[in-house]
Amino acid sequence: MVNYPNKRNTYHKAAASQSRRGMSLEEDINTSNEFYLKEDSAVIHKKPTPVTIVKVDYPKRSAAKITEAYFKLPSTTDYNGIYKGRYLDFEAKECVSLTAFPFSSIHEHQIRHLESVLRHGAVAFLILRMTSYEQDYLIKAEDFLNFYKTAKRKSLPYSWIQENGHPIPFRYQKPCDYLRVVDEVFGL
Amino acid sequence: MVNYPNKRNTYHKAAASQSRRGMSLEEDINTSNEFYLKEDSAVIHKKPTPVTIVKVDYPKRSAAKITEAYFKLPSTTDYNGIYKGRYLDFEAKECVSLTAFPFSSIHEHQIRHLESVLRHGAVAFLILRMTSYEQDYLIKAEDFLNFYKTAKRKSLPYSWIQENGHPIPFRYQKPCDYLRVVDEVFGL
């Protein structure tokens, strides 16, 4: 369990840990999205990592090779798409802390993006994996933003997450089956 | 006008060419999107170019540098977002030919993506810049796909584009003001 540095045995859930071992939240969401696409229930994709490309080699008879590029700060969330005719938008984060999710993990741009899409009628949320507890939560963007804008602290306490977050079930084919939770939470 | 190799003076439109000189369709759409975002009428972004990152250097005290990466085929269209509560999805292409837009310019993945999002209720379309005529057209994904699937030829004839495409106005702050056309064509 090298990925879970804060892992405590008291919070160990045997079933979940056996299935999820070594899989990142991103991999689990991508697997779920592929399944949603295959069963034709939604079209949701992760956006590519934004990079600034500086140098490209074009060797003869083989593929163009990027030889100098840099990571860029994302200006939007990582995932969006369409589900039941609605525009859906979310950001996914893993949190190793036992006590709180630090706001520094979300860029200011992404906060503004969530506010914008909400104003335009999006189904918007965060998916937060509390790795130490091996539990994924869906948090409505509205709830998160209300707390974010009024909080004196710079993190989301675990107690708040437990109270306001919606646990996301783990399933074999959809290891992060967030659309089931979207149905309930947003009444779709 | 180095970007317009097939430019013919007979098709020259002075006003448009003076304003658009040297700007690519992508730049014009990005400028328009920034304006839509600023006036808060829509949230639409270009997705980053998908690349497979192979090697990254982490020099001390400076930004991570990608030293080996390759371009990947896109699995979706380049643009999506939300407008008037609707999920909006489109691909943008420049066409230098005077006679037809070749289907080879659109990847099979992107065709399937347009079909999928349409089934789920998206406002989906192509933006086609006929560079030789200096005219941008919005083409409904539905119309394009109907032609694509039944056509014996492997391109979209210019006559078809003129008949079925919807001219997109050029404005100074929104050099490709496609949302005005979306309003009319999709009745939003």
Measured between CB atoms, does B1 come within 8 Å of chain A?
Answer: no
pLDDT the model gives residue A20: 54
Residues on chain A touching B48 (C-beta within 8 angstroms) = 47-51, 72
What residue ranges do the domains of chain A occupy?
A: 9-186
Place of tokens 């975002």: B37
pLDDT tens, residue by residue, B147-173: 999 999 999 999 999 999 999 998 888
The predicted model gives A85-102 an average pLDDT of 97
ipTM of the prediction greater than 0.85, yes or no = yes
Q: What part of A 125-184 touches B (C-beta under 8 Å)?
A: none
Percent of chain B residues past pLDDT 70, beyond the cut: 88
Chain A residue with minimal CA distance to B84? A120
Nearest Cβ partner for B80 among A49, A72, A80? A80
| Cross-chain residue pair A68–B67, CB shorter than 8 Å | yes
| Sheet of A42-46, strands arranged across | A42-46, A79-83, A86-95, A123-130, A135-140, A166-168
pLDDT tens, residue by residue, B97-109: 999 999 999 999 9
Q: Measured between alpha carbons, how far is residue B104 from residues B91, B117, B156, B157, B160 in Å? A: 14, 21, 11, 14, 17
- Range with lowest mean pLDDT among B4-13, B77-86, B125-134: B4-13
Q: What part of B 71-90 touches A (C-beta under 8 Å)?
A: 71-72, 75-76, 80-89
| Cross-chain residue pair A71–B50, CB shorter than 8 Å | no
| Cross-chain residue pair A116–B64, CB shorter than 8 Å | no
Residues on chain B touching A113 (C-beta within 8 angstroms) = 43
B147: phi then psi, degrees, rounded to nearest 5:
-65, -45
How far A124 CA lies from chain B's nearest CA (Å)? 12
The CATH number of B12-186 is 3.40.1350.10
pLDDT tens, residue by residue, A96-122: 999 999 999 999 999 999 999 999 999
| Cross-chain residue pair A65–B70, CB shorter than 8 Å | yes
The CATH number of A9-186 is 3.40.1350.10
Phi-psi region at A106: left, alpha or beta (left = phi > 0; alpha = psi -120 to 50) = beta
Instruction: Output the six-digit token pair for A104.
Output: 């520094």
| Cross-chain residue pair B53–A49, CB shorter than 8 Å | yes
Burial class (CB in 10 A: 0-12, 13-18, 19+), B131: buried
- Range with lowest mean pLDDT among A18-27, A30-39, A140-149, A179-188: A18-27
| Cross-chain residue pair B69–A66, CB shorter than 8 Å | yes
